[in-house]
Amino acid sequence: MRSLLNNGIGQRGSALVVALFILLMVSVLGISAMRTSIYSAKVATGVQADTMTFDAAESAVSKSFTHLGELTEQELSLGVLNGESLTSCLKSNGELGVGGCGDSDRMDSRGLLQAESYIVHVKNNCRMVSGSDVELYRDYVIDILAQSKMDSYQIENNHLQEALKVGLDCIQL
C-alpha cells in the first residue's frame, strides 16, 4: 500500500492550479460575452433611434403633402409661389402647427423627436402639364423638405419630396 500513496506525492497542488486556470478562462469568456452584449444593445438602440427620426421626417413630409393639396390657389400663391416658404412643425397631436418648431415642441409623447417641414417653390421651376397640348397650364414644381431630429442622440434626418401643382401663370425660362 505504501507504493500507491507515494506515487501522488509529486502532484500536490496541481489540481488547484488547473481549477484556477479554468476559472480564469471562464471569467474571461463571461466578460467578453457581456461586453459584446452591451455593444450589441448600443447598436440596436442607435438603429432604433435612427429609424424613429426617419419615420418622423416621413410623417412631416406626408402631413405637408396633404396640407399642400388642401391649399387654395390664393393661399398657394401667397404662401409659396411668391418665393416664400411655408414652415410647419409637427405637433404631438399629429397636426401641423404653423411656423417653425420651438425648443419645447416635440411630436411624440416621450418628448424625444422634433419634426418640421418647409414647402418651397423655386421661382420659374415649372413643367408642362403631362398630356396637355395647351402651353398656358404648367405644373409648379414644389419641394417639401422635412427635417427631424432627436437631440438626446444627436441624430438628424432630412427628406425631400417633389410635388406638382397645376397653375396658370408659371413661366418657364
pTM for the full predicted model: 0.73
Per-residue pLDDT, 93: 85
- pLDDT of 173 over the 50 cut: no
Per-residue pLDDT, 172: 46
Share of the chain above pLDDT 70, in %: 81
What backbone phi and psi angles, to 5 degrees, belong to 170? Answer: -85, 120
- Please check whether residue 164 is in contact with residue 142, taking contact to mean a CB–CB distance below 8 angstroms: yes
The distance of Cα 67 from the centroid of its chain, to the nearest Å, equals 22
H or E, element range at 117: strand 113-120
- pLDDT of 131 over the 70 cut: no
pLDDT digits (tens, 9 = 90+) for 95-118: 888 888 888 888 888 888 999 999
- pLDDT of 75 over the 90 cut: no
Per-residue pLDDT, 33: 96
Q: Which of 51-55, 88-92, 146-150, 165-169 has the lowest mean pLDDT?
A: 165-169
Q: How many CB atoms lie within 10 A of CB 70?
A: 8
What backbone phi and psi angles, to 5 degrees, belong to 127? Answer: -135, 155
> Distances in Å between the alpha carbon of 155 and those of 10, 62, 74, 115?
65, 20, 37, 12
pLDDT category at 159 given cuts 50, 70, 90 is very high
In the predicted model, what is the mean pLDDT of the chain?
83
pLDDT digits (tens, 9 = 90+) for 37-74: 999 999 999 999 999 999 999 999 999 989 888 888 77
The whole-number average pLDDT for the span 76-100 is 82
Per-residue pLDDT, 48: 92
